[in-house]
Amino acid sequence: MSSSSTPPAYYPEGWDRERLLNSAATGEIATLSEEQRVRFREGLKEDLGPQGFNEFFDEMFKREIDTKGATPTAPVTEPPFMQVMRLQEERHGSDHRWAQWGFVVFTSPDVRDAALWKACHQRFDAILHDQVESYRGYKGLEDCVARMRFEWIEGGYDVDSSIAAVSEAYAEMDPPPGLNHSVCLYITPESLHSIIDSPSPSAAARKYRKDIPFVVAVSKRVPAETEKSSSAGGGGKEEEEYAGANWRGYFNVAVESLLDSFFSTVADDSRTPFEIGGNITGEDIYCDHTRWGIHKAGVGYWDKRAEPVSTEISVDQ
């Protein structure tokens, strides 16, 4: 990187860092030719890397807004979790309005430290609160959030902490319709520490965070192969076929995605658990179905489009 006293060679002649950062606010940026802009952008990205490049232009935008005294605001859009419930009522009538909505959440019996569990629970709630805040001002949001419920199951379902035991316990439950999905959530010791120790989603965009808080999504029907000694999940032809396709019956999901992309997907059964998480392996984390939707363990933000899951089962001839 160039000396701070001498502007890098890719800067426009006579310009320094502060002048460039203020150029959008002063209007000077319009005096640069297209060639100068391209050269600067390419040089800056090579010099600072993708994160430094984005932070530079974030600061430029902030100074422009501070100078002009107004922040351009887009209309608050309908939250995905509200949209999926509204569409359900439109299809089936107001009698099908969910009095409560959310998820059933199991806690591993291996989580024994009360102080850590309290810290995890508080951080989990804070992340969800921040996600809701981004939709503040949308009509009906307060009523919808008042009906949000996460039913915490802390032990009592089995001394076994296996995925299969959780799946079996969930399959035997009869939660309200708004919490009765094809998956439940599971807090393991690993996910607990990810929630406590990972940077807060409100601190930086996901692409700047290598580690993100996650929980485990467990299918109500887990393949028998998931646990050698398991008799959980009720089996069924469909799950046996999925097991043949290396379907584990569970996957990690980002806490910051629970209310938006994840709830809206599982609430209307638009995708099976296998179709959502069948491509997720190891400790990778589901965030959404966009190009950047899988957070890679040990890597972070991933820039390769995930391959769509095929539900076709090959049969040996």
In this predicted model, what pLDDT tens digit does every residue of 126-167 receive, in sequence order? Answer: 999 999 998 998 999 999 999 999 999 986 555 567 898 999
Q: What is the pLDDT of residue 199?
A: 86
Instruction: Please report the pLDDT score of residue 60 as a whole number.
Output: 86
- Tell me the mean pLDDT in the region 214-243: 57
pLDDT digits (tens, 9 = 90+) for 92-139: 887 778 999 999 999 999 998 999 999 999 999 999 999 999 899 899
Instruction: Convert the pLDDT of each residue in 261-280 to its tens digit.
Output: 999 999 988 788 988 988 88
Residue 315, pLDDT > 50, answer no
Helix (H), strand (E), coil (C) string for the chain: CCCCCCCCCCCCCCCCHHHHHHHHHHCHHHHCCHHHHHHHHHHHHHHHHHHHHHHHHHHHHHHHHHHHCCCCCCCCCCCHHHHHHHHHHHHHCHHHCCCCEEEEEEECCCCCCHHHHHHHHHHHHHHHHHHHHCCCCCCCHHHHHHCEEEEEEECCCCCCCCHHHHHHHHHCCCCCHHHCCCEEEEECHHHHHHHHHCCCCCCCCHHHCCCCCEEEEEECCCCHHHCCCCCCCCCCHHHHHHHHCCCCCEEEEEHHHHHHHHHHHHCCCCCCHHHHHCCCCCCCEECCCCCCCEEECCCECCCCCCCCCCCCCCCCC
**Full-model pTM:** 0.69
| Overall average pLDDT of the 290-298 stretch | 80
pLDDT, tens only, 167-214: 999 999 999 999 999 999 999 999 999 999 998 888 777 877 888 999
- What are the tens digits of pLDDT across the range 31-59? 999 889 889 988 998 998 877 887 888 88
The two most distant CA atoms of the chain are separated, in Å, by 73
Tell me what the mean pLDDT of segment 231-260 comes to. Answer: 68
